[in-house]
Amino acid sequence: MTPMRCPACQSPGRPGARFCEECGTRLEASCTACGAPLSPGARFCSQCGAAATGATAAAARAGDVRGAAPRAYTPTHLAARILQDRSALTGERKQVTVLFADVSGFTSLSERLDPEEVHALINRAFELMLAEIHAYEGTVNQFLGDGLMALFGAPVAHEDHALRAAHAALGLQRALARYHEELLRTRGVQFRARQGLNTGLVVVGAIGDNLRMDYTAVGDTTNTAARMLQLAEPGQIIVAEATARLIEPYFELRQLGTFTVKNREQPVAAAELVRPRPHVSRLAARVAQGLAPFVGRDDALGELERAWATARGGRGQVALVAGDPGIGKSRLLLELQRHVGAEGTWLQGDCISYGATIPFLPIVAMLKRAFGIHDGDGESEVIARIGEGCAVLGADAREVEPPLRYLLSVDPGDAAFAARDPVRRRAEIVAAIQRLLAAYSRRQAAVVVVEDAHWIDSASEDALKSLVDAVPGMSLLLVVTYRPTYQQPFGERTYFRHVTLQPVEHEAAARIVRATLGVDDIPTELAAAIARKAEGNPFFLEELGRALLETGLVRREDRRLVLTRPAATLVVPDTVQDVIAARLDRLAEAQKRTVQTAAVIGREFALSLLQRVSDLQSQLEQSLAELKRIELIYERLGAGDPEYVFRHALTQDVAYASLLQAERRRLHAVIGAAIEDLYAGRLEERAEELVYHFTRGEVWDKVVRYAREAAGRAEALCVDDRAVGFYETALQALEHLPETPETAREAIEVRLAMRATLWRGGEPERLVALFKEAEALAGRHGLTGYLDPIYAFLVQYHWARGEQDRAVEYGRRCLERAAARDDLGLRVTGMYYLCHAYRQTGRYAEALGAARELIALLDGPRATERFGLSGIPYAGACGDAAVALAEVGDHDGALRMLDQGQRVADAAGHLYTQMTLAAMRGRVLVAAGRADEAIGLLEPTAATCRERRFVGQLINALKYLADAYVRAGRPADAIAPAREAIALQEQVKVCVERTYKHTVLARAYLALGDLDQAEAELARALAFAERNAERGHEGWAKLLGAEIAARRGDRPRVATLLDGAQEIAEELAIPPLLERCRALLAEIAAR
């Protein structure tokens, strides 16, 4: 039978022992072949038939742990946990730390010793290695010749897997160093181990009954760990930068520079793991990194301060502080400690995630700190320090010291105590702890803190229960912190105070992020993304903030953050992901699978939908009830189908990320089909949701269908960026389908449908490219009917480019084709842009005629239709007519036309058209001499267009606003909006009405007395007038040129320009221009 180890504390058991001498746990022998328990005296295993003595300890004799099944060498409690939940653990993506170790000296052993003896010695080394790995709940995945590979964080997730791996590596290093000294002394051979660690993703595959586990590395996780092993010298531990980043606050590292790794473009930084830093708590590690402001916790801190005041007065108190991981429990205690200061004795012990099987762990840590004992102290020094610490007890110290010395693993100095029954010995240890704390509190009021009690061991918990009963008689505040999943066993007392930490409010959260990043301002989009993910959890806020810089999502500029990529690409940092993944792995199998399935549905999910897609029907209700109890999800109360929401968005993110991509695809497809079935009569309301699921489920034909529906819904609400996104999704989905006449038809229609949204967004060149693709598809498949809307677009395009002659040409061609086939949509498009082209070229009478014809054509029930255009043609034609009337001086008629168009736009609720008419009304008001009124309208119009990204109408509002500023006597204010309008046009590569914009700038500079700038802008205006054939605007530009020339006293130039302006006014019948020309002549003649 192989030597037994205690399944609870891992202490070695002496032969024949029935109970652990360290913690009192019952000991069971187990089969080395299959891991099953062995009955006392058994010679063979009842489960697999292997011999319990002799050679089955070739899992014992040379007991080859390397050849045994993992279940044979995995501790019983860990094996049971893995097997219990293995179906929930398989097929998952896990963030892990990989440890590679191998031993050197094997060859020299083989040369000098008998093979069976060598085998036993090597096997002993592996047993030592396994003991250290299992002590931190690592799992040995495979043996590799003279080495092994272990995973920390898989198959069971741990939020501190990197710390566990580092501790295990150092423990392994120490154990093998002792073994090396033994072999060197007894056999004269060298025997050392080297180790390499890295952190990253792996995919956990199937887990068999014998605990063998398939896994697949994601990226270069294991390659990098193996490369670290190659870099290590015997006796050395090398960690890659991914691991170093997580453990550096807790361990001393020696940086080694960067090294190449196979199949990895960038070199990897490596460091040697030297030793743990002394007594570094998680909070202390964060203090070293820099703490964010302590905000949003005044009430909680006030409650603890009041408890402390009561305890100082001699009435002991117990404060139970509960809160989610990262919510700020430790930080709250730090602030309390600062408040207590020198007025009290602070005694603290922290539970650790891998310490639940280590008896009295937090109390041992507390005593070591209180007595000033360090890890390197010798036994005599430890005994002396215990004596000094117990001096406060006076004569009672002689009774208290032996239990405490025994607890701190040194000679108790009392043979009778060491020989006592374990149950009695444990009771005396608890009593000694209580007497010591009572003595401390008599000398000076004390605060006793036990952090993270959700990880507490049973011995410490029993000691706390005893202490809780004694607290009222002491000047002592006992503070216990824990997560909501911990069911505190202390009952209720009148001297209890409960503090439950909630997420911090929005402003406090913003302060934490700004402080973490060292900036004064954060982009709104980014702040919203962080708030949505972190939801007021301070730790999450800090880690997300740090991740922004580490991943290059932002850069700092003068205490401001600038986004380098969309905020939507913000990822969950490993530190946060590990905390959440560990909590999910602690769930029962049914609960975890429910969470994962719900995570694929979304942050919010309906019970009816979950029922249709879950494979846990019989356990679903119970699972949801438990998830509600532990507050992973909330139920939304109300009538109808019950709905649930994940309490934290990050929980959904991590649960979703844990699933394999193939399983995600399957679930998304199943969920999409279930939504179709469940909401068959209301699918248009679910189009966006269906796009989401079918895209990720790769059901491409469904993606095309619902993406088009979703785009149409977004476009109807003028949410153009969303509409464009859905159209692009449809095009991407079509690329996954074979090109047939039917898919070609859909591809053409999607491109044509993007006309309105991209036009409003100021992307005409992109439209040209899309329409060329549509034209090619139509040609390949003989779909000539689609050429009409392509030609109709060319009217609009050439108008925007300022190529009015071509716009008129294509417009007339569209009208001819429309008449031949009685195509109303084509006729509307042709007429609408003919109105625009006529107006831009100064042919106001023709523009007015075409506009009135279009209005008459659409008057009635079709007045609100858009016919695939950005705005409503009926209302737009009213605007065209209004501006044409204003140009010829009929301002009242112009305003009536605008009112007519406004009624239609308002009836349709179409914001883009409303903004179009608002900009045109501003233009009419300027022409009518009501500049201040125009400014009051145009300023908010420009703001709305900017917010909604209506680029074309933003340009219009800005140019008319600049003109209004000049007319209102504010020429300096006109420069910026006029220049912005020009810059926007250049950005989107259009130049319609460019003459008007430069004329406004010239008029502003003239009013400011800057004649040189005025002439420069005038020259640009006249150049664009000639290029774009903008005759009406050219007339006004020449009139302004005459005014500038008159200011300089250049009479010949005045005459030339005035003659040109007057000629245009007469040719195009523009009475206001003609009147102004005659007035200027009169002014000059009068000088």
Compute the distance between CA of residue 893 and CA of residue 328 in angstroms, rounded to an integer: 68
Residue 81's pLDDT band, with cuts at 50, 70 and 90, is low
Compute the distance between CA of residue 463 and CA of residue 478 in angstroms, rounded to an integer: 12
Label the pairing between strands 643-646 and 604-606: antiparallel
Highest mean pLDDT among 263-272, 627-636, 1009-1018: 1009-1018
Specify the amino acid at residue 793.
F
Determine the pLDDT at residue 29. Answer: 54
Number of other CB atoms surrounding residue 257 within 10 Å: 8
From 177-181, 534-538, 1075-1079, the region with the lowest mean pLDDT? 534-538
Average pLDDT of the segment spanning 113-142: 84
Determine the pLDDT at residue 598. Answer: 95
Using CA atoms, how far residue 33 sits from 47, 75, 576, 798, in Å, is: 10, 13, 39, 83
Determine the pLDDT at residue 12. Answer: 46
**Nearest by Cα to 406 from 443, 374, 431:** 431
Compute the distance between CA of residue 116 and CA of residue 512 in angstroms, rounded to an integer: 63
From 121-130, 328-337, 598-607, the region with the lowest mean pLDDT? 121-130
pLDDT digits (tens, 9 = 90+) for 461-499: 999 999 999 999 999 999 999 998 888 999 999 999 999
Q: Are 679 and 602 contacting, i.e. CB atoms less than 8 angstroms apart? A: no
Compute the distance between CA of residue 710 and CA of residue 726 in angstroms, rounded to an integer: 7
**Nearest by Cα to 411 from 420, 401, 421:** 401
Highest mean pLDDT among 34-43, 174-183, 875-884, 979-988: 875-884
DSSP assignment string, 417-447: HHTS-HHHHHHHHHHHHHHHHHHHHHHS-EE
Highest mean pLDDT among 102-116, 673-687, 1061-1075: 1061-1075
pLDDT digits (tens, 9 = 90+) for 300-344: 999 999 999 999 999 999 999 999 888 889 889 999 999 999 999
Backbone angles phi, psi at 466, to 5 degrees: -65, -40
Q: Are 852 and 858 contacting, i.e. CB atoms less than 8 angstroms apart? A: no
Compute the distance between CA of residue 650 and CA of residue 630 in angstroms, rounded to an integer: 16
Backbone angles phi, psi at 521, to 5 degrees: -145, 140
pLDDT at residue 1067 greater than cutoff 50: yes
- Whole-number percent of the chain with pLDDT over 70: 88
pLDDT at residue 35 greater than cutoff 50: no
pLDDT at residue 82 greater than cutoff 60: no
**Nearest by Cα to 569 from 625, 535, 609, 525:** 525
Determine the pLDDT at residue 44. Answer: 52
Highest mean pLDDT among 648-662, 673-687, 708-722, 843-857: 843-857
Average pLDDT of the segment spanning 1067-1073: 95
Compute the distance between CA of residue 727 and CA of residue 230 in angstroms, rounded to an integer: 51
Label the pairing between strands 317-322 and 476-482: parallel
DSSP assignment string, 528-592: HHHHHHHTT-HHHHHHHHHHHHHTTSEEEETTEEEESS-GGG----HHHHHHHHHHHHTS-HHHH
Specify the amino acid at residue 323.
G
Average pLDDT of the segment spanning 1010-1019: 96
CA angle at residue 457 from 81 to 246, to 5 degrees? 75
Compute the distance between CA of residue 814 and CA of residue 800 in angstroms, rounded to an integer: 17
Residue 214's pLDDT band, with cuts at 50, 70 and 90, is low
Average pLDDT of the segment spanning 778-807: 82
Determine the pLDDT at residue 3. Answer: 40
Q: Are 220 and 267 contacting, i.e. CB atoms less than 8 angstroms apart? A: no
**Nearest by Cα to 531 from 500, 506, 497:** 506
CA angle at residue 1019 from 1014 to 1024, to 5 degrees? 125
pLDDT digits (tens, 9 = 90+) for 865-918: 998 888 999 999 999 999 999 999 999 999 999 999 999 999 999 999 999 999
Specify the amino acid at residue 107.
T
What burial letters (b/e) apply to 697-707, b meaning 16+ CB within 10 Å?
A: bebbebbbbbb
Q: Cβ-count burial of 15 within 10 angstroms (0-12 exposed, 13-18 middle, 19+ buried)?
A: exposed
Determine the pLDDT at residue 532. Answer: 76
Q: Are 952 and 762 contacting, i.e. CB atoms less than 8 angstroms apart? A: yes
Residues near 496 by beta carbon (within 8 Å), at least 6 away in sequence: 317, 318, 319, 320, 490
Compute the distance between CA of residue 580 and CA of residue 590 in angstroms, rounded to an integer: 17
Residue 43's pLDDT band, with cuts at 50, 70 and 90, is very low
Residue 303 has which token pair?
A: 């409650």
Residue 34 has which token pair?
A: 């299959």
Q: Which helix (H) or strand (E) is 293 found in, with range?
A: none
Residue 337 vs residue 76, higher pLDDT: 337
Token pair 């020309």: residue: 1077
What burial letters (b/e) apply to 615-642, b meaning 16+ CB within 10 Å?
A: ebeebbeebbebbeeeebbeeeeeeeee
* Residues across the chain: 1087
Residue 23's pLDDT band, with cuts at 50, 70 and 90, is very low
Determine the pLDDT at residue 864. Answer: 95
Residue 325 has which token pair?
A: 């991981």
Residue 277 vs residue 305, higher pLDDT: 305
Residue 917 vs residue 419, higher pLDDT: 917
Determine the pLDDT at residue 229. Answer: 92
Q: For the chain, how big is the Rg over CA atoms in Å?
A: 40
Compute the distance between CA of residue 587 and CA of residue 88 in angstroms, rounded to an integer: 10
Compute the distance between CA of residue 243 and CA of residue 269 in angstroms, rounded to an integer: 10
The SS3 call for residue 1033 is helix
Compute the distance between CA of residue 119 and CA of residue 109 in angstroms, rounded to an integer: 10
Question: For residue 155, is the peptide bond before it cis, meaning its omega torsion is within 30 degrees of 0?
Answer: yes
Q: Are 1010 and 1032 contacting, i.e. CB atoms less than 8 angstroms apart? A: no
**Nearest by Cα to 332 from 458, 475, 495, 501:** 501
Residues near 724 by beta carbon (within 8 Å), at least 6 away in sequence: 711, 754, 757, 758, 761
From 218-227, 286-295, 701-710, the region with the lowest mean pLDDT? 286-295
Determine the pLDDT at residue 332. Answer: 93
296 torsion bin: left (phi>0), alpha (psi -120 to 50), beta (else): left
Number of other CB atoms surrounding residue 798 within 10 Å: 21
Determine the pLDDT at residue 67. Answer: 52
Determine the pLDDT at residue 567. Answer: 72
pTM for this model (two decimals) = 0.63
User: Over the chain, what is the mean pLDDT?
Assistant: 85
Residue 446 forms beta bridges with which residues? 345, 476
Determine the pLDDT at residue 573. Answer: 74
Label the pairing between strands 633-636 and 643-646: antiparallel
Residue 644 forms beta bridges with which residues? 605, 635
Residue 295 vs residue 857, higher pLDDT: 857
